Structure formats: C-alpha cells, structure tokens
Amino acid sequence: MKITELLARDGLSLSFEVFPPKTDTAFESVKAATEEIADLHPAFISVTYGAGGGTSQYTLEIAKTIKEAHGVPTLAHLTCVSSTRETVRARIADMKAAGIENVMALRGDIPADMQGMDRSNWPYRYAVDLVRELKESGADFCIGGACYPEVHPESPHQKEDIRYLKEKVDAGVEFLTTQMFFDNNLLYNFLYKIREAGITVPVVPGIMPITAGNQVARAIQLSGSFMPRRFVSLVDKFGSNPAAMKQAGIAYATDQIIDLYANGIKNVHVYTMNKPDVARKILENLSEILG
Ligand code: FAD
C-alpha cells in the first residue's frame, strides 16, 4: 500500500522507523528486532539506508520481510550523494523487482573524506536529483522526502531551506517526514511557513524517544535539535538511572505525540532505534487514543 493512501485515511495512526545492521554479523539480531517491531502492526515501517560499507542491501531485505511476512506496509530509504549513477540505478531496479512501493529519497550526509570537494560534477548533489531519477525509472513509486523544522544544518537560513524543499516536492515528493524535534511549537511554526510557501503534501512528524542519558549528545549532534528546559531537567534528573530515564523518555515522547494528535496531526512516526520494548510501550500508552 502507498504511504499517501495510508495518510489519507480517517483516524489517528503511528508508524515506526528501524535501521539495518551496520555489519554482517549483526544481521540476524537486527532482523529479529525489526520483525518484533513489525508484529506490533504499526501503520507502516520505514527502513533506513546506510550508504557506506557493504550492508546497504539489508535495507531491501528487511523491508521485504516486514511487508511479506508480517503484512506491514514498508518505506525503503535510499541515499544518493556518495553513489555513482550505476549504483543508484541498480538499487532502484532491485527495489522495483522486490515490489517496493514506497521510497524515501534522501541525499545522505556528505562523507568526511568528500567534504570540501568540488561538487559541480557529482551525479547527485541533492535529494531532488534522486527524486528525478526515481521518476525517470518508470516505476510507480510513492516518493517521500525529509524536512527539517529547525532548518537543515547546512542551510544558511530557513527561507532558502524551504525554497529547496518546495523544489523537491514539485519534482515528485508526495509526503514529508521531519527530523526529530523535542518542542512541538517548532513543528507548528514550520508547518505554518511551508504551507504559506505553497507546500501542501502531508507532513509526518518524527519523534525520537530518548531512553538513555548517553543518547542525548548523539541526538543533538545528528539533528542539531533544540532541547527545551523541561527536557533538559528530565535528563539531568534521570540520565544516570537507566530504568528511570527510559520511563521518563517514553513518557516525554508519548506526551509529544498526544499533543501532535490534539493539534490536528493524524500520523506520527517514531524513531524506534530498533527497540521493540520502547515501540510497544508507546503503543500501549496510546491504546485508547489510537482506538
Ligand atoms: P536535501 O533535500 O538535498 O537537502 C540538503 C541540503 O541542501 C539542505 O540544506 C537544502 O536546503 C540544500 N539544498 C537542497 N536542494 C538544493 C539546491 N538545489 N541548491 C542548493 N541547496 C540545496 N541519512 C541516511 O544516510 N540514511 C537514511 O536512511 C536517512 N533517513 C533520514 C530520514 C529522515 C526523516 C531525515 C530527516 C533524515 C534522514 N537521513 C538519512 C539524513 C539525511 O540524509 C541528511 O540529513 C542529509 O544531510 C540531507 O538529506 P536530504 O535528503 O534532506 O537532502
């Protein structure tokens, strides 16, 4: 099923993100965790893509298993910036052959050894180049794209970031998933601005439950997210007590999700970090709300 069809349905829903293993040896344990998450039957599951190393084929393998063995619609991520045209076209052909219907078209982060290089001749400089490639492939993919309520870290200002986001949507992106954020007002403000800029596609907010004190620094480094005082106090108080931090982090994420639903958002995406217990607990917390 296409994600846009799911997002158009009445009622509230929750979807999950999982990631593939970074090494071959981790494959079985990661696959087992993603299958346990699939058994919770969220609206859909996205599977991220690691461009580096030889494990990128696992995205497809996990997405296919979730869809075929567990009956959960999947969204396979694909990045392009450090890839050749041949590699990207081969991946697109693999996705077509595997019956993948939904693709998240991403640029990917610029690898450290490629930073500062002249990018003018690169086949894929931005996600929009991949969106165009997916469109030209002739496959009937439902294409998603990423967006940044707090501005992409490389953008000089939000106006420019939103202008390029509009270009990406106009090229064929049918829905957007946001970077994590810890203050919902940032999302509401962003939605107002992109709607004003003429971006009308559905936006799926991405929520990251912070369940360990040492996750905070990494999350900020990756996303540049603003940490509200309320959240900082929670980490200060419980960060050194793993069980308490987990409970508090899940409660904070649940609270964010309920506020999003209360303010008109129909589907929220949870970055599960491959933790079935966290995904399950959040679903339990929302059982009456999701019906
Ligand atoms: P783009 O849309 O290309 O934007 C990147 C930057 O370039 C922005 O600053 C934008 O304003 C600017 N820009 C865009 N177009 C132009 C233009 N024409 N001219 C000048 N500037 C332009 N990474 C992975 O490696 N694997 C994943 O699976 C993955 N999944 C993700 C899922 C979500 C929901 C999010 C939010 C991020 C994900 N990422 C993933 C991280 C992502 O790859 C990085 O954030 C990356 O730096 C940007 O990717 P993008 O697709 O948003 O890029």
- In order, the DSSP letters of 226-239 are ---HHHHHHHHHHT
According to DSSP, the β-strands at 206-207 and 267-271 are: parallel
CB 179 within 8 A of CB 149: yes
**Residue 100 DSSP code:** -
Q: 94-106 pLDDT, tens per residue?
A: 999 999 999 999 9
Question: CA-CA distance, 90 to 140, in Å (whole number)?
Answer: 16
- The structural domain count of the chain equals 1
Question: CA-CA distance, 243 to 25, in Å (whole number)?
Answer: 28
pLDDT of residue 54: 63
Identify which of 126, 195, 128 has the alpha carbon closest to the alpha carbon of residue 167.
128
Question: CA-CA distance, 281 to 3, in Å (whole number)?
Answer: 24
Q: Tell me how far the alpha carbon of residue 194 is from its chain's centroid.
A: 19
Q: Radius of gyration of the chain from Cα atoms? A: 18
Dihedral sign of CA atoms 47, 52, 58, 64 in order: positive
Residue nearest to atom 52 of ligand 1 (CA): 146
pLDDT of residue 216: 84
Kindly state if the Cβ of 266 falls inside 6 Å of ligand 1. no
What distance in angstroms lies between residue 213's CA and the mean position of ligand 1's atoms? 27
**What pTM, to 2 d.p., does this model score?**
0.97
pLDDT of residue 65: 96
Q: Which domain holds residue 21?
A: 3-290
User: Quick one: pLDDT band at residue 32, thresholds 50, 70, 90?
Assistant: very high
CB 123 within 8 A of CB 87: no
**Residue 205 DSSP code:** -
CB 105 within 8 A of CB 144: yes
**Residue 37 DSSP code:** H
CB 107 within 8 A of CB 130: yes
* pLDDT reading at 52 higher than 70: no
**Residue 28 backbone phi and psi in degrees, to 5:** -60, -45
Kindly state if the Cβ of 79 falls inside 6 Å of ligand 1. yes
Give, in order, the Cα–Cα distances in Å from 96 to each of 36, 82, 140, 146: 26, 21, 9, 21
* pLDDT reading at 53 higher than 80: no
Kindly state if the Cβ of 3 falls inside 6 Å of ligand 1. no
pLDDT of residue 68: 96
Question: CA-CA distance, 50 to 211, in Å (whole number)?
Answer: 23
Q: Which of 91, 103, 107, 272 best tests ligand 1's pocket when mutated (most atoms within 8 Å of CB)?
A: 107
Question: CA-CA distance, 32 to 285, in Å (whole number)?
Answer: 24
pLDDT of residue 111: 86
Contacts of 266 (CB under 8 A, 6+ apart): 7, 9, 11, 12, 13
Q: 131-184 pLDDT, tens per residue?
A: 999 999 999 999 999 999 999 999 999 999 999 999 999 999 999 999 999 999
Identify which of 255, 178, 149, 176 has the alpha carbon closest to the alpha carbon of residue 210.
255
pLDDT of residue 224: 83
Kindly state if the Cβ of 179 falls inside 6 Å of ligand 1. yes
- Domain CATH number, residue 85: 3.20.20.220
Give, in order, the Cα–Cα distances in Å from 38 to each of 24, 45, 52, 99, 267: 21, 7, 26, 18, 17
